Homo-oligomer: A and B are copies of this chain.
Amino acid sequence: MAKGFRKKIHQENTENSGFGSRASGRFINKDGLPNVRRRGINVFNRLSWYHTMLNLSSFRFITYLVVMYILINLVFAFIYYLIGVEHLTGIDKSNPLDEFIDVFFFSSQTFTTVGYGRIAPVGFMASLVATFEAFLGLLTFAIATGLFYGRFSRPRAYLRFSDIAVIAPFQDVTALMFRLAPYKNNALTDADVTLSTAIEINEEGTVKSNFYRLETQLSKINTLALNWTIVHKIDENSPFFGFSADDFKNTNIEIIVHVRAFDEVFSNTVVQRSSYVSCEIIYGAKFISMYYPDKEKDSTVLDLDKINEYQKVELKTSDVQRS
């Protein structure tokens, strides 16, 4: 951190960030979640397994389901085996392994309620266990239905942020810019953005973070269909006023972005957060346009692969700003 910066910043630091000045590390992770670990209480009370299942990748989610299916069937197969295969009809009794295989398949046919009947329970205990296995099976699939629907219908903004922010010339000063674009076939309207920053300062030997609100040139747009470049003008109202390229490099800065929009398909408000730290800010660069008319001139094409494309520009105004 660079000492003495505190006096350069004219704006009062805001207290409503929700982070204390003694918090450490990045505040908001790149994926938008706060960089906080919780301790205490019981881990089961601390975790919402439903939130967890909703945030898993599709691959891991399916894997979990399959593994659980096999485990449950193994457990029930073991129970049926202990009860005795003589309580089931149609079991291949040539050897213990074949017996176990058959009760395993009987278990799966019960759990999924297929119930071919080639193997069927005859004794009391086997019938009773089968009664509860079928019940458990149906409840499990009821829960799975809820999880699938919860995963599908979870409203998300599906915004892609540029990996980097740039400090570019803007009007007669400079501005901090980054951009975002919707990358899925959802339809977002009434988008607005809130920008704030945490700057680590050295105040009389104590390292602490101050939080500042950052003004944006255009904080609301009607339709979020093309890319949206967020522009924070670095004028005398900005906490970055007078920062040189080195200041941006050597100070621990974190730009916290909060985008909110209305998804027309789900009729729901969706939000997405991200953050940029010092090493993700490029001093003296500007973005290259990422949309263009299509050949027939009757539609607009948005090229999402260009979201991080920029070109270097020279910033001469920095000295002027500082004086």
Residues of A within 8 A of B (CB): 15-20, 22-28, 32-41, 45-48, 50-52, 54-55, 65-66, 69, 73, 89, 92, 101, 105, 108-110, 112-118, 120-122, 124, 127-128, 130-131, 134-135, 137-139, 141-150, 152-156, 158, 160, 183-187, 189, 191, 194, 196, 218, 220-226, 228, 256, 258, 262, 264-271, 273, 289, 291-294, 296-306
Contacts and interface: CB of A to CB of B under 8 A. Distances in A.
A278 to B, nearest CB: 14
Nearest to A143: B148
A37 B301 contact: yes
B304 A18 contact: no
Given A25-B293, A225-B18, A142 B145 contact: yes
A152 B120 contact: no
Contacts of A120: 116-118
Number of copies of chain A assembled together: 4
A183 B223 CA distance: 26
A295 to B, nearest CB: 10
Contacts of A50: 152-153
Given A109-B115, A120-B117, A258-B222, A55 B265 contact: yes
A38 to B, nearest CB: 5
A89 B189 CA distance: 59
A20 B179 CA distance: 14
A105 to B, nearest CB: 4
A184 B124 contact: no
B269 A270 contact: no
